[in-house]
């Protein structure tokens, strides 16, 4: 079981690296993917404007926006994940390993879908109509549903981990050693995710809202003529 988890995490990280390598060899393609990512970040800010300012859910919403939806370069964090996969699988509880496995799968699928969208848009000017057209051209509703499933799995997993006070204490103690070992970006992600979800005192409603809104948007994008996309009220 541990060997399978390790292989799955490495597979996800390798898939992400393959997408990055493809973009590195084509500057125009890379710019279009970056434009898609920036547009998706603006879309998230619109879809979850209420949650981003909500007293209970603002932290988690910003965590999703910064760590999962934004155009940030996660190369350093992913490299750190790859370095410690054997130790993580060997030493950490199965719940932590499962969380990382879901995160790696989500990261890989998201990067693959973003690359498809980057190939489908015509240039770096991505608006609602261009985004909807690229979405329909790429198709693959099962992959979009899988992306939502993985997203909510990561959320539920982070929420479940907050029930382990020893884990939070361990993360605090690991801050210095992680920095010294060159794992600061990875540690920051884990600590931030733990604290953010712990602060919600239960994440079921938040995760349910994420899942329902993402599914509603996906259904609309698949069924609405691209020229009408700007009038949906769900896209910037």
Q: Whole-angstrom Cα distance, residue 1 to residue 209?
A: 33
Q: State residue 123's pLDDT score.
A: 85
pLDDT band with cut points at 50, 70 and 90 for residue 182? low
Residue 121 phi, psi (nearest 5): -80, 155
pLDDT-above-70 percentage for the chain? 89
Question: Smallest Cα–Cα separation from 15: which of 104, 143, 141, 129?
Answer: 104
Give 151's pLDDT tier (boundaries 50, 70, 90).
Answer: very high
Rounded mean pLDDT, 165-191: 71
- What backbone torsions phi and psi does residue 182 show, to the nearest 5 degrees? 75, 25
**Average pLDDT of the residues in 96-123:** 90
- Identify the pLDDT of residue 72: 67
What does the pLDDT look like over 17-72, one tens digit per residue?
899 999 998 999 999 999 999 999 999 999 999 999 999 999 989 988 887 776 66
Please report, rounded to a whole number, the percentage of residues in the chain having pLDDT higher than 90: 43
Task: Tell me how far apart the alpha carbons of residues 71 and 153 are, in angstroms, rounded to a whole number.
Answer: 21
- The predicted model scores a pTM of 0.87
Confidence of residue 91 (pLDDT cuts 50, 70, 90): low
């Amino acid at each position: 079981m541990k060997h399978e988890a390790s292989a799955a995490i490495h597979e996800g990280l390798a898939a992400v690296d393959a997408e990055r390598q493809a973009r590195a060899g084509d500057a125009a393609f890379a710019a279009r993917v970056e434009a898609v990512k920036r547009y998706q970040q603006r879309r998230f800010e619109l879809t979850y404007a209420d949650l981003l300012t909500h007293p209970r859910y603002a932290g988690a919403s910003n965590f999703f926006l910064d760590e999962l939806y934004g155009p940030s370069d996660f190369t350093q964090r992913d490299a750190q994940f790859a370095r410690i996969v054997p130790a993580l699988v060997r030493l950490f509880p199965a719940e932590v390993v499962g969380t990382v496995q879901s995160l790696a799968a989500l990261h890989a699928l998201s990067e693959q879908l973003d690359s498809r969208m980057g190939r489908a848009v015509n240039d770096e000017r991505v608006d609602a109509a261009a985004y909807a057209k690229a979405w329909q051209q790429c198709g693959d509703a099962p992959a979009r549903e899988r992306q939502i499933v993985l997203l909510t799995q990561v959320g539920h997993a982070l929420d479940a981990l907050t029930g382990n006070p020893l884990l939070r204490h361990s993360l605090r103690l690991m801050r210095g050693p992680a920095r010294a070992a060159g794992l600061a970006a990875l540690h920051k992600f884990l600590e931030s995710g733990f604290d953010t979800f712990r602060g919600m005192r239960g994440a079921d409603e938040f995760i349910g809202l994420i899942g329902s809104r993402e599914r509603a948007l996906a259904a609309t994008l698949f069924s609405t003529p691209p020229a009408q996309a700007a009038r949906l009220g769900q896209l910037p």
